[in-house]
Amino acid sequence: MTTIATNLQRIHARIENACRVAGRHPESVSLLAVSKTFGADAVAQAHAAGQTAFGENYIQEAVEKITALAQLSLQWHCIGPIQSNKSRLVAEHFDWVHTVDRLKIAQRLSEQRPANLAPLQVCIQVNVDAGLNKSGIAPNNALKLAQAVAKLPGLRLRGLMCIPEPAPDFIACCAVFTRVRALFDHMNSAGMSLDTLSMGMSADLEAAIAGGSTMVRVGSAIFGKRS
């Protein structure tokens, strides 16, 4: 078995274990393999081991891989910051985008999504711990943005995404994820129908699952250290 296949098995075991501890069904959490900085060959290896959903941060790099691997049936998620001048590439090449944090970007994605493609699946990125210089909308403004995004054609609003600052311990980590889960519940009780909480990475997926994550984004624990 390749290293990538072994690592994928380990991650699935971690997800299953975290679900068991949290009293959740293992199928309630999906795995997004974050392949940024790794080549199309690494993605193809992960696909051969059964992985179909991949996350990318850098748009140009991603489009090259998406094009090179077009014959495989893969699902591509944009998880990096989106500058206005890159929104068209995102709208034309990706299936999901996790990093919508302002209406202007959502409007551009909506206008630029080709009519022959399925709606772009969207998560709103929330700046849950008010990290300075960090992308993500303030939690207080998330509902208003979600209501506006939900009306845009070509997009389908699915949920929330966050990238918390590293917390000192497991409990503190869980507390941050639980706040995002509470926001998600609040938005659903205000009439949204969100089903996706994109949170948790290689180092903190157990805390994220305890906090209610439905999609963990794992890079280095699958593909190795990034240079």
Using the Cα atoms of residue 111, residue 116, residue 119 and residue 121 in order, give the sign of their dihedral: negative
- Report if residue 146 touches ligand PLP, rule: CB under 6 A: no
Q: Which stretch binds ligand PLP (CB under 6 A): 83-91, 131-139, 152-160, 216-224?
A: 216-224
Cα distance between residue 166 and residue 37, in whole Å: 22
Rounded to the nearest whole angstrom, what is the least distance from the CB of residue 32 to ligand PLP in the complex? Answer: 8
Q: Which stretch binds ligand PLP (CB under 6 A): 113-121, 139-147, 183-191, 195-203?
A: 195-203
Which DSSP string corresponds to the chain? --HHHHHHHHHHHHHHHHHHHHT--GGGSEEEEE-TTS-HHHHHHHHHTT--EEEES-HHHHHHHHHHTTTS--EEEE-S---GGGHHHHHHH-SEEEEE-SHHHHHHHHHHS-TTSPPEEEEEEB-TT--TT--SB-HHHHHHHHHHHTTSTTEEEEEEE--PPPPSSHHHHHHHHHHHHHHHHHHHHTT----EEE---TTTHHHHHHHT-SEEEE-HHHH----
Binding mask 88-127 for ligand PLP (x = CB under 6 A): ----------------------------------------
Q: Which stretch binds ligand PLP (CB under 6 A): 86-94, 107-115, 151-159, 200-208?
A: 200-208
- Report if residue 163 touches ligand PLP, rule: CB under 6 A: yes
Residues with Cβ < 8 Å from 64, sequence gap 6 or more?
40
Rounded to the nearest whole angstrom, what is the least distance from the CB of residue 114 to ligand PLP in the complex? Answer: 25
Rounded to the nearest whole angstrom, what is the least distance from the CB of residue 205 to ligand PLP in the complex? Answer: 8
- Report if residue 162 touches ligand PLP, rule: CB under 6 A: no
Among 57, 112, 135, 178, binds ligand PLP (CB under 6 A): 57
Nearer to ligand PLP, 77 or 181 (CB): 77
Q: Which stretch binds ligand PLP (CB under 6 A): 46-54, 81-89, 206-214, 217-225?
A: 217-225
Residues 70-89 that bind ligand PLP (CB under 6 A): 79
Residues making contact with ligand PLP (CB under 6 A):
34, 36, 57, 79, 163, 201-203, 217-221
